[in-house]
Amino acid sequence: MPYNYDLAGLDWSPEHVNDSLAEVYDHAVTEARDILSWHDEKARANGQAAKSIRLLAVLSISIGAVGPLISSVWGLTIRPFSSPLSATLFATIAATLLGIDRALGFSRNFVRYGSAADDIRKSLRSFRLKWFAKIAGLNGHPTTAEDLHSLREMAIGFQESVGNIDQAFGLQFRAEFEKRLADIQTQAEELKSKRENRA
């Protein structure tokens, strides 16, 4: 949801206007950085989990492919490589690992958290450039009421933008989670139906 300022406690008298503007700016940037850090942390955690799972899957496939060859060429009896089904076993393990990644959404969440973080980072960079450009444009002259309104609206618009990015991510994440639960429930019902038919 959009983030709004509590401007009631700020002093906009000429001698304190710069301090109040600085507080508005710091508040907006701090809010955005907090949200950005949260998305970055989530992206990092999901990325590490996805990378680990995919690495294990690749290792499993590699072991399943190379192990039987070594066992056959050198005439070694190494379980489970001596079994003709060893390649199938390790391929199944790899498929299970990738299925876990897909079910828990590590790779998907890594992309989504990262994308939201990138959008917030771009919005933050744009806001800072516009803010400093506006301040520099004053050339040290007294801030007019129009200038104050423009700067405050800029800050509020920025926080609303960040809030909308975060909210859109949350809605998308919830929809994906609910869909995943529905799919699991459907699969469970199908399995139950098959068991009842067999009985």
Check residue 36 and give its pLDDT.
96
Return the CATH fold of 12-192.
Substrate Binding Domain Of Dnak; Chain:A; Domain 2 (1.20.1270)
Check residue 190 and give its pLDDT.
78
Check residue 2 and give its pLDDT.
41
DSSP SS3 for 188? helix
Check residue 35 and give its pLDDT.
95
Region of residue 97 (left: phi > 0; alpha: psi -120 to 50; beta: else): alpha
Check residue 127 and give its pLDDT.
96
Closest CA to 51 of 96, 94, 101, 91: 101
Check residue 122 and give its pLDDT.
96
Domain ranges of the chain: 12-192
Check residue 48 and give its pLDDT.
97
Q: How many whole angstroms separate alpha carbon 4 and alpha carbon 11? A: 17
Cβ-in-10-Å burial (0-12, 13-18, 19+) of 125 comes to: exposed
Check residue 78 and give its pLDDT.
60
Whole-prediction pTM = 0.76
Closest CA to 116 of 179, 51, 37: 37
Place of tokens 């400093």: 132
Q: What is the pLDDT along the chain (199 residues), one digit of tens a residue?
A: 344 445 567 887 888 888 889 999 999 999 999 999 999 999 999 999 999 999 999 998 888 777 777 666 666 666 666 566 777 888 899 999 999 998 888 999 999 999 999 999 999 999 999 999 998 888 778 888 898 889 989 999 999 999 999 999 888 878 887 787 777 788 778 777 777 777 6
